[in-house]
Chain A
Amino acid sequence: MMTVRTSPHIHGNLRTDKAMLFVVAALIPSALWGVWAFGVRALVVLLVSIASSLLVEYLLGLVSKESTLRDGSALVTGLLVGMNMPPAVPLFIPVIASAFAIAVVKWTFGGLGCNWMNPALAGRAFVFFSFTSEMSAFTLPRAFGVDAVASATPLSALKTAMTAGGTGLSYELLTLPVTDFASSLSDKLGISPYVIDAFFGNVGGCIGEVSSLLLLVGGIFLIAAKIITWRIPVVYIGSFALLSWMFGGIPYGLGAFHGEVLLPLFTGGLMLGAFFMATDWVTTPTTPKGEIIFAAGCGFFTFLIRYFGSLPEGVSLAIILMNIVSPTIERFVRVKPFGYVRKKKEAKA
C-alpha cells in the first residue's frame, strides 16, 4: 500500500525535539563547568530543576490529556532554570521556579509555541523577586581554593561601589580576589584580571552563567547547526557593548565614550542570555528585521537596567521585556514579498 501525501516528499533534518536536544548539548559544557566550580551542590540544584520541570510537564499533560514530554522543551526549561540559580540556593526555590515556568508561563497559555515569555526567565524573575536575598547570595568558585565562601559578583560589587560614590575603572574599584592565572595573564595582556577571570568562569555567579568561554562555544555550535541565527546574539552583544562604551562610563565619573566594555560583556549572564535565552524560538520575532530590532532592544534595556537602574544585572528583565514587545514587532515588521508592488493609495473623493 502506497502512502499519498502532499508535497514536499522529503524533509530537512531540523526537528523541534532534536533541536531541543541540541540546545541541551550546547548548554552542557557550561553547566559542567558550573558543577566543577561550585561543587556537588550545583549538580543537585540542576537535577532538582530539571526533575521538577519534567514532573510538572508530565502532570499537566495528564490534565490536558496530551503527552508533551517528547518535544524536549521541558528539559531545556528545567536546565535553564537550574543554570540561572546561585549554587547555594535553597532547593525549594528551583522547584518553584520550574513549576512557575512550566505551569503558569507555558501551560496556561496553551503549551509549547503559545507562551509569550521565555518560561525559564520568567521562572527566574518570579523567584528572584520573591526570594531576593537567597537569589543574590553567591559563592566563590573552586579556583580560589576555598569552599563555599560567600562573595559578591563583580557587577553587584561595582554597583555597590558606584552607589557609595566611587569613581573609576573596575580594577580600581573592586577588591574581589583574582586567580594567580588571571593576574599573570593580566600583566602580559594589559587587561583587567577581572575580565580574564570572568571570561574563563572563575567568578561568583549563577551556576551556568559564569564561563563565558564555554557559553560562547555552545552558542557558536548552535549557530553552526542552524538552530539559531547569528543575528540575535551578535546584535544583542554588539548593541550592549556599544552603549556601554558610549555611556557606561558616566555613572562612574569617566565621562562619555570611556565606559568599560569587556567586563560587562562577560558577567551578569549576558552570554547565557544572548545565545540561549534571547534566541528562544517561541518568544522572538520570526523575520530577520524583527530579530535585529528585538536584539537591539534587549541590548538597550540591559544597558539601561545595569547602569541606571537599581539592580546590578539586567539581562533577564531586558529579555522578558522584549518578549512582551515581540508580538508587536511581529505585527508591524513584515518581510517585503518578492515582486512587491506598492498598493496605490485610493484616490480621495
Chain B
Amino acid sequence: MKLATFRRGGVHPDDKKRLSKDRKIERLPFPSELIVSMSQHLGAPATPVKKKGDTVRRGEVIGTASSYVSSPVHSPADGVVVDVRKVRVPSGAVADALVIKCDETQSDPFKEEFDWKKESPEALLETIREMGIVGMGGATFPTSVKLNIPMGKKADSLIINAVECEPYLTSDYRVMMERPDEVLEGVMAAARIVSPDNIIIGIEANKEDAAQLLSSRIEAKGYPIRVQLLKMKYPQGDEKQLIKATLGREVPSGKLPLDVGAVVCNIGTTYAIYEAVRFHKPLIERVCTVSGESVCDPKNVIAPIGTKFSDLIAFAGGAREDLVSLIAGGPMMGFAVADTDTPMVKGSGGVLMLPRMLDDISFPCVLCGKCVQHCPMGLMPNKMFRNIKYGNYKAAMDLGLMDCKECGCCAYTCPSHLPLVQGFKLGKKLGRQAK
C-alpha cells in the first residue's frame, strides 16, 4: 500500500520512541500537592470559585469557564486548597493557580455508567463542555467549541489525529494499544456530534501495530471508521498537514479546517471524550510520557493534572547527571522550563529530560535554502528572519509570518543554527503590536 503524506516540506528527525514505546501506562500515586492552573487551555482563563482553606472533592468544579472559548477546571483530587497564587505554566505564561493539598485517601466517584447513545448531540456537546475537555495534542483548544459545527457549515470528514509526530512522545500510542475499544467509542461519540460522512484515523507508519489493532477492533464492532496509514514525516500531526495528507485538501491561509469540511480531533482527546460521556468524568488526569536520554527509567504515566514535573521525574527514577534541559511537550515544539516544580496542564503529553543536544555554534545565513525547501507552509524563513532582524515586521508579515506555526523545521535544518523560531515568535509579537 502506498502511504499517504503531505507533499511540501517537512523533516525526518529520529523518532526516539523506542525509549518508552513498550512501557505500559502506570498510575502515579497521588502526590502530596497539586498546582492546578486556571489557564489550562487556549482562550480565556477559568475563573476560580474556591478560596484558600476550602475543601475540594475529586472532580468538583474549581474554576468556571469565563467565556465561550474557555473551559472549566476540575479538582484532580480530594483535598484542601492551601494557597491561591500565580504560577508559571509550561508555556511560560503566568496564570492563577490553586494549590491543593491532597488527602491521604482518595475517592473514585466515576463508577456509574451512562448510556451516551441515547443522548442528543446537543446534550453530548454540553457534557463535553462541562467536563472541561480540551484538545490534548498540545494546543488545548476547547473540544466543545471545535466539535460544535456552526449553522450553515458542514463537516464531511472527522479526522482523528493519531500521528504523534513529535519524537519521544508515546502517550497517544500507549492509549491506543491499551484502551482501543474506549478510544473508538470516544471517536463514535465525537462522530455523533459532528455527524460526518466519513471518519478517518490518521496514523504514522511507525505505529503500524496500533493501526492494525484499531483496524481489527473497528472490524469487530462494525464502526464506519477508516484507518489511514501515513508515511513518517514531521509535522504531520499538525491539523493542516494532516488534512492535506488524508483528504488532499489545503486549508486556506487564515481559515479553519472547518472551511474545507474537516474537523480534526486528537486520539488522546477521544479517550477523554469517552470518559466524559460514559462516566461523566471530567478531564482531571492524563497520560504523559516521561522520557529522554537523561531520565533513568522512561515511562508512560497517568497522572493528575497539576502534578509537578519533579514528582513525575522522581517516579521515573530521577534524572541523570548529564541533564541539560527539561522540556514540556515534544522536542520540536515543546517548551523548555527552568523550574522543576512547573505543574502539568491538560496539554502536557510529555516531559522530556534531554542531555546536551545542541552546540552553541552559529554562523551567518549562507542562503542555502534548506529552510525554504523544508518549510511545510511554503514560506521563506530566511527572508522573514532577515526582515525581523532589521525590525521590518511589516515586510515579514507580508511574507506570510502569520502562517508560520513555529513547527521548527527551518531551525532544525538550518546549517548555520540560526534561532529562526525564536525570531518568528518575537516578530509575530512585535508585528502585532506595530499594527
A165 contacts which chain B residues (CB < 8 A)?
Answer: none
Q: A6 to nearest B CB, angstroms? A: 4
Q: Are B379 and A7 in contact (CB under 8 A)?
A: no
A334 contacts which chain B residues (CB < 8 A)?
Answer: 380
Q: A9-B327, A12-B11 are in contact. Are A4 and B337 (CB under 8 A)?
A: yes
Closest to B422 in A: A6
Interface size on B, residues (CB 8 A): 64
Does any Cβ of B come within 8 Å of A132's Cβ?
A: no
Closest to A291 in B: B369
Assembly CA distance A111 to B365 (angstroms): 11
Closest to A286 in B: B369
Q: Are A8 and B422 in contact (CB under 8 A)?
A: no
Pick out which of these stretches binds chain A: B39-47, B281-289, B300-308, B412-420.
Answer: B412-420
Q: Are B336 and A8 in contact (CB under 8 A)?
A: no
B378 contacts which chain A residues (CB < 8 A)?
Answer: 335-338, 340
Does any Cβ of B come within 8 Å of A185's Cβ?
A: no
Does any Cβ of A come within 8 Å of B81's Cβ?
A: no
Q: Are B364 and A111 in contact (CB under 8 A)?
A: yes
Q: Are B366 and A282 in contact (CB under 8 A)?
A: yes
Q: Are A11 and B358 in contact (CB under 8 A)?
A: yes
Q: B121 to nearest A CB, angstroms? A: 29
Choose among A5, A12, A291, A341 the residue with the greatest number of B CB atoms under 10 Å from its CB. Answer: A12
Residue in A10, A281, A338 whose beta carbon sits within 8 Å of that of B412 in the complex: A10
Residue in B8, B352, B367 whose beta carbon sits within 8 Å of that of A281 in the complex: B367
Pick out which of these stretches binds chain B: A15-23, A41-49, A173-181.
Answer: A15-23
Q: A2-B324, A337-B379 are in contact. Are A8 and B332 (CB under 8 A)?
A: yes
Does any Cβ of A come within 8 Å of B77's Cβ?
A: no
Closest to B338 in A: A4
Q: A337-B253, A339-B252 are in contact. Are A5 and B412 (CB under 8 A)?
A: no
Q: Are B377 and A338 in contact (CB under 8 A)?
A: yes
B359 contacts which chain A residues (CB < 8 A)?
Answer: 15
Q: Are A2 and B366 in contact (CB under 8 A)?
A: no
Assembly CA distance A111 to B368 (angstroms): 15
Q: A66 to nearest B CB, angstroms? A: 10
Does any Cβ of A come within 8 Å of B376's Cβ?
A: yes
Q: B128 to nearest A CB, angstroms? A: 28
Does any Cβ of B come within 8 Å of A255's Cβ?
A: no
Choose among A283, A284, A334 the residue with the greatest number of B CB atoms under 10 Å from its CB. Answer: A334
Q: A329 to nearest B CB, angstroms? A: 12
Does any Cβ of A come within 8 Å of B255's Cβ?
A: yes
Q: A217 to nearest B CB, angstroms? A: 22
Q: Are A113 and B367 in contact (CB under 8 A)?
A: yes
Closest to B241 in A: A338
Q: A2-B324, A9-B327, A282-B366 are in contact. Are A14 and B415 (CB under 8 A)?
A: yes
Does any Cβ of A come within 8 Å of B251's Cβ?
A: yes
Q: A8-B333, A12-B11, A286-B382 are in contact. Are A17 and B363 (CB under 8 A)?
A: yes
A282 contacts which chain B residues (CB < 8 A)?
Answer: 366-367
Residue in A10, A71, A112, A288 whose beta carbon sits within 8 Å of that of B357 in the complex: A10
Choose among B376, B380, B416, B419 the residue with the greatest number of A CB atoms under 10 Å from its CB. Answer: B416
Q: Are A11 and B376 in contact (CB under 8 A)?
A: no
Assembly CA distance A273 to B425 (angstroms): 40
A71 contacts which chain B residues (CB < 8 A)?
Answer: 363
Does any Cβ of A come within 8 Å of B298's Cβ?
A: no
Does any Cβ of A come within 8 Å of B167's Cβ?
A: yes
Q: Are B412 and A12 in contact (CB under 8 A)?
A: yes
B379 contacts which chain A residues (CB < 8 A)?
Answer: 335, 337
B412 contacts which chain A residues (CB < 8 A)?
Answer: 8, 10-12
Within 8 A of A (CB), among B379-429: 379-380, 382, 400, 403, 406, 408, 411-417, 419, 421-422, 425
Does any Cβ of A come within 8 Å of B325's Cβ?
A: yes
Assembly CA distance A112 to B368 (angstroms): 12
Q: Are A16 and B416 in contact (CB under 8 A)?
A: yes
Q: Are B357 and A5 in contact (CB under 8 A)?
A: no
Q: Are B323 and A16 in contact (CB under 8 A)?
A: no
Does any Cβ of B come within 8 Å of A3's Cβ?
A: yes
Q: Are B419 and A6 in contact (CB under 8 A)?
A: yes
A9 contacts which chain B residues (CB < 8 A)?
Answer: 325, 327, 331-332, 334, 336, 352, 354, 357-358
Q: Are B240 and A113 in contact (CB under 8 A)?
A: no
Q: Are A229 and B325 in contact (CB under 8 A)?
A: no
Interface size on A, residues (CB 8 A): 40
A2 contacts which chain B residues (CB < 8 A)?
Answer: 323-326, 336-338
Q: B233 to nearest A CB, angstroms? A: 14
Does any Cβ of A come within 8 Å of B261's Cβ?
A: no
Q: Are A288 and B422 in contact (CB under 8 A)?
A: no
A3 contacts which chain B residues (CB < 8 A)?
Answer: 324-325, 336
Can you list, as one digit per residue, whether each of A321-338 has a CB less than 8 Å from chain B (1) or not (0)? 000000000000011111
Assembly CA distance A302 to B415 (angstroms): 31
Assembly CA distance A7 to B235 (angstroms): 14
Residue in B365, B372, B422 whose beta carbon sits within 8 Å of that of A113 in the complex: B365
Assembly CA distance A113 to B368 (angstroms): 9
Assembly CA distance A288 to B368 (angstroms): 11
Does any Cβ of B come within 8 Å of A310's Cβ?
A: no
Assembly CA distance A113 to B354 (angstroms): 32
Residue in B8, B331, B358 whose beta carbon sits within 8 Å of that of A338 in the complex: B8
Assembly CA distance A7 to B167 (angstroms): 13
Q: Are A11 and B417 in contact (CB under 8 A)?
A: yes
Does any Cβ of B come within 8 Å of A285's Cβ?
A: yes
Assembly CA distance A10 to B408 (angstroms): 10
Assembly CA distance A285 to B240 (angstroms): 28
A184 contacts which chain B residues (CB < 8 A)?
Answer: none
Q: B389 to nearest A CB, angstroms? A: 13
Does any Cβ of B come within 8 Å of A287's Cβ?
A: yes
B255 contacts which chain A residues (CB < 8 A)?
Answer: 339
Q: A234 to nearest B CB, angstroms? A: 16
Does any Cβ of A come within 8 Å of B318's Cβ?
A: no
Assembly CA distance A18 to B413 (angstroms): 13
Can you list, as one digit per residue, whether each of B1-35 has a CB less than 8 Å from chain A (1) or not (0)? 00000001001010000000000000000000000
Does any Cβ of A come within 8 Å of B215's Cβ?
A: no
Does any Cβ of B come within 8 Å of A256's Cβ?
A: no
Does any Cβ of B come within 8 Å of A224's Cβ?
A: no
A341 contacts which chain B residues (CB < 8 A)?
Answer: 252-254
Residue contacts A-B, CB under 8 angstroms, 18 given = A2-B336, A5-B358, A7-B334, A10-B354, A12-B413, A15-B361, A16-B416, A112-B363, A113-B363, A283-B367, A286-B373, A288-B373, A335-B375, A337-B377, A337-B400, A339-B252, A340-B378, A341-B254
Query: Would you list the 7 A-B pairs with minimal beta carbon distance, nearest first?
Result: A286-B369, A8-B408, A281-B368, A6-B422, A113-B364, A337-B378, A16-B363
Q: Residues of B with Cβ closer than 8 Å to A?
A: 8, 11, 13, 167, 240, 244, 250-255, 323-327, 331-338, 352, 354, 357-359, 361, 363-373, 375-380, 382, 400, 403, 406, 408, 411-417, 419, 421-422, 425
Taking A281-B368, A285-B369, A338-B244 as known contacts, 18 extra A-B pairs with beta carbons closer than 8 A to each other, sorted by chain A number, are A2-B337, A4-B337, A7-B332, A7-B408, A7-B421, A8-B331, A8-B411, A10-B13, A10-B357, A11-B358, A17-B361, A111-B364, A284-B369, A286-B382, A335-B372, A337-B403, A340-B252, A341-B253
